C-alpha cells in the first residue's frame, strides 16, 4: 500500500487532506509540530502521526522514511526556501515517487512579496531535485474570512485591499481534495504548475455583499491599511504578514489574482464549495451567541 506523508497536517488544507487520502485507500502519515488534541484526532481517523519540524533535516528524513509520495505545505513566515531545500534533499535521498507542493497563484521570480517569491523559489528547488512534482498555485483561501470573523460578529467588514480588486476564493477543503486526487494519478500532472481557484470571482466589495446576504446582516465593505488590519485581528507585530499583505494588495490591484480556472472541478469531478457553504458550516464563528438589543 502506498504511504503518503502530509506535512502541516493540522492546517486548513492538511487536516481534510488526511481524510480524503484515507478515503482513497492510501496509508497516511501526518507530520505535525505538537502532539495535542488535533494530533489525536488524526490518529483516530486512521493516520500515523509523526512529530517534527520542517526546518530539521533529521526530522524530515525520519518522516519520509518508507513513504512513496508527499504533500509539502509551509505556513506564511520565514523559512520556506530552507524548508523546501531540506524536503527536496530528503525526498531525493529516499527516491520519492511524487510530491504535491502548494504555492501562490501569482508566484513569479520578480514578485514584490518575499513570501510569494519564496514560493516560486521553492518550486525551482523541487524541480532541480529531480523528484516528480506538481505545483498547486492556489488563489485566495476562503478561510481569509476567518481573519475578520470577530469583526463580522460585531457588524464590521474590514479588509486591507481595494474594493474592486478581483479574485475567486477557494476553500482549504477543496484544495485538499484536489491534491488528494492528484495523488491517485501522479503521472498525469507531474511536472506541471496548476493554477487553482474557486468557481466564482468576486471583487472585495462584492464578497462583502455576499457575506452580508448569507448572514442577513448589513456589512458594508471598509478598506483599512494593512497595519490597521493587523491590529484589528490582534497580530500587530507580525512583520512577515505585514510585508506580504502590503505586496499582496498591489498584486490584486494589478489583477494578478483575477480570473477563474476549472482546475479543481476538473480534477475532483465535483462542484466546489461556495462562500455560502463555507459560512453556513461555520456560522457560530460569524454570529454572536446572543441577540444584540436595538438602540432605538
Query: Is the pTM here over 0.85, yes or no?
Result: yes
Question: What is the assigned CATH class of domain 3-139+171-196?
Answer: alpha beta
pLDDT for 249-273, tens place per residue?
A: 999 999 999 999 999 999 999 999 9
State percent of the chain over pLDDT 70: 98
Distance (Å, rounded) from C-alpha 247 to C-alpha 160?
11
Which residues have a Cβ under 8 Å from the Cβ of 149 and sit 6 or more positions away? Answer: 282, 285, 286
Helices and strands (H and E) in the chain: how many: 15, 11
Q: Nearest-CA neighbor of 48 among 94, 9, 89? A: 9
Q: What is the pLDDT of residue 295?
A: 53
Q: What whole-number distance in Å separates Cα of residue 143 and Cα of residue 61?
A: 31
Q: Give 18-75 pLDDT, tens digit per residue.
A: 999 999 999 999 999 999 999 999 999 999 999 999 999 999 999 999 999 999 999 8
Amino acid at each position: 500500500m502506498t504511504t503518503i506523508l502530509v506535512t502541516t497536517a493540522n492546517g486548513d488544507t492538511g487536516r481534510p487532506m488526511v481524510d480524503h487520502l484515507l478515503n482513497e485507500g492510501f496509508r497516511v502519515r501526518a507530520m505535525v509540530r505538537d502532539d495535542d488534541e488535533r494530533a489525536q484526532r488524526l490518529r483516530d481517523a486512521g493516520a500515523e502521526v509523526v512529530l517534527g519540524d520542517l526546518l530539521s533535516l533529521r526530522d524530515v528524513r525520519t518522516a519520509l522514511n518508507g513513504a512513496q509520495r508527499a504533500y509539502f505545505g509551509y505556513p506564511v513566515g520565514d523559512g520556506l526556501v530552507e524548508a523546501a531545500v531540506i524536503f527536496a534533499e530528503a525526498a531525493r535521498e529516499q527516491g520519492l515517487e511524487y510530491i504535491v507542493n502548494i504555492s501562490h497563484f501569482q508566484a513569479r521570480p520578480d514578485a514584490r512579496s518575499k513570501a510569494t517569491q519564496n514560493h516560486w523559489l521553492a518550486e525551482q528547488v523541487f524541480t532541480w531535485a529531480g523528484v516528480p512534482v506538481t505545483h498547486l498555485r492556489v488563489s485566495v483561501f476562503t478561510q481569509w474570512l476567518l481573519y475578520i470573523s470577530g469583526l463580522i460578529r460585531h457588524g464590521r467588514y474590514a479588509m486591507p485591499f481595494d474594493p474592486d480588486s478581483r479574485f475567486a476564493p477557494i476553500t482549504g477543503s477543496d484544495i485538499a481534495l484536489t491534491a488528494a486526487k492528484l495523488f491517485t494519478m501522479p503521472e498525469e500532472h507531474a511536472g506541471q504548475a496548476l493554477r487553482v481557484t474557486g468557481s466564482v470571482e468576486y471583487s472585495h466589495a462584492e464578497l462583502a455583499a455576499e457575506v452580508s446576504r448569507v448572514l442577513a446582516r448589513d456589512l458594508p465593505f471598509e478598506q483599512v491599511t494593512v497595519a490597521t488590519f493587523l491590529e484589528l485581528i490582534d497580530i500587530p507585530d507580525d512583520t512577515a504578514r505585514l510585508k506580504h499583505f502590503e505586496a499582496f494588495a498591489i498584486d490584486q490591484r494589478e489583477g494578478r489574482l483575477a480570473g477563474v480556472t476549472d482546475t479543481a472541478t476538473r480534477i475532483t469531478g465535483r462542484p466546489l464549495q461556495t462562500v455560502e457553504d463555507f459560512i453556513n458550516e461555520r456560522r457560530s464563528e460569524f454570529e454572536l451567541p446572543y441577540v444584540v438589543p436595538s438602540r432605538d
